[in-house]
Structure 1
Amino acid sequence: MADKTDFKKTLASYRAPRGRFEIVDVPALTYLMVDGRGDPNTSPTFEEAVQALYPVAYGLKMTSKRELGRDYVVPPLEALWWADDMAAFTTARDKSRWSWTLLLMVPDWIGADLFAAAVRRAAAKDGRSARLDDIRWETLAEGRCVQTLHIGSFEDETPVLARMHEEFIPAHGLRMTGRHHEIYLSDFRRTEPARLRTILRQPVVDAA
């Protein structure tokens, strides 16, 4: 039986140090994506987006294993976060003003034709999923990024992000570009907040 690829082990961008910031080069990766806006704790569209992504992701995994002979672990859920005024994200934490894109990475050996077929199969099995038609297939090229591993509640991210944005990034002659990126190594639906493991990532470019 072929080995099962685990991208958390094979891609360096899925690993980050705890307690310090690291500059990494993230390769262009293809994702299933769903957009939304509002507080992820109260907005029904957030949970609907999560529920739509996983049937498609696991359908692709099974197709890859059965038809292509390549098995893999479905990568962790990820999200891009932003606000028109980023203070609403990093300081005030006004979640009602947040915009987001949920992401699930798919291997580069899977093509858009298999994605379309996976969406059709998921719809046939559960036509109630409100966001299936909103899932898109897109490549994200972040390039150079600063990231760290945060262990603890999402509410405790603010001082970590402040150090990343206001101290580490400018001190290394960099400036922020792109959107704040989080990778959820823990299932936040089943893990107590103090034990959550989240990679916090910020794309950067030279300040000059």
Structure 2
Amino acid sequence: MDGTAGTKIDLKKELDAYRARRGEFRVVDVPPMRYLMLDGHGDPNSSPEFAESVESLYPLAYAMKFASKRALGRDYVVPPLEGLWWADDMTAFTSARDTSAWEWTLMLMVPEWLDGAACAAAVAQVRAKGGAPRLDEVRFEELAEGLCVQTLHVGSFDDEGPVLDRMHGEFIPGQGLTLAGKHHEIYLSDFRRVAPEKQRTILRQPVV
């Protein structure tokens, strides 16, 4: 993703790490990428912290996008929202689906040509325009996942359990691999606007 001047790139179409098919588990080597991140806890459907995180990440991401276009001539589509999810007992994501036990980090990926200084400038810009609920808590950080297994899930988040059971309990051990790192979701659909049965989500699990 070189962000060539004068072109508008869509990072989720450029990167192999954002490709997945429904009904297919695929092993992919994910390169280190940098993100805007916010942490939280609990049920995303009822947590004010979750909604405030979404409301804080997007203004910052768009401020960075417009600054990139204006100052560098490099325009891009803001990547989809992503989330890391974990719990003390990972069955909270599969059979139990105990949302009260969930810990999460919401993320928006940032192109490689933008750095921490660009993020800090965007934070100042958003603050000057009225701020965002959790603006001062956003961090700019690299995530290095490496080898992962992923698939495309179409449907409600509540229906992910059987897919994750097959990924964790059948495919991954069947490949001689073991789970390593946090469950990762990439929301190709805007879950605020798309009906649950039509939502498209990449489910990713780092492995070794």
TM-score, length basis structure 1: 0.96
| Structure 1 residue runs of 4 or more that deviate by more than 4 Å after TM superposition | none
Distance 1:126 1:48 in 2: 14
Are residue 78 (structure 1) and residue 77 (structure 2) matched?
no
RMSD between aligned alpha carbons? 0.8
* Amino-acid identity (%): 65
The residue type paired with residue 189 of structure 2 is: S
Tell me the matched-pair count: 204
Q: Which residue of 1 aligns with 2:150?
A: 147
- Displacement of 1:145 in angstroms is 0.3
Distance 2:23 2:134 in 1: 37
Please give the secondary structure, in 2, of the residue aligned with 1:188: coil
The residue type paired with residue 172 of structure 1 is: Q
- Displacement of 1:130 in angstroms is 2.1
Are residue 23 (structure 1) and residue 30 (structure 2) matched?
no
Match among 185, 197, 200 for residue 200 of structure 2: 197
Please give the secondary structure, in 2, of the residue aligned with 1:183: strand
Q: Which residue of 2 aligns with 1:185?
A: 188
The residue type paired with residue 165 of structure 1 is: H
- Displacement of 1:88 in angstroms is 1.7
Q: Which residue of 2 aligns with 1:102?
A: 106
Distance 2:6 2:147 in 1: 33
TM-score, length basis structure 2: 0.96
Q: Which residue of 2 aligns with 1:40?
A: 44
Query: Which ranges of structure 1 fall in alignment gaps of 5 or more residues?
Result: none
- Displacement of 1:3 in angstroms is 1.2
Distance 1:110 1:65 in 2: 11
Q: 1:83-133 CA distances to partner (integer Å, 9 max, x unpaired)?
A: 011122222111011000000000010011110010111111123x22101
Please give the secondary structure, in 2, of the residue aligned with 1:174: coil
Are residue 136 (structure 1) and residue 139 (structure 2) matched?
yes
- Displacement of 1:175 in angstroms is 0.1
Q: Which residue of 2 aligns with 1:92?
A: 96
Please give the secondary structure, in 2, of the residue aligned with 1:101: strand
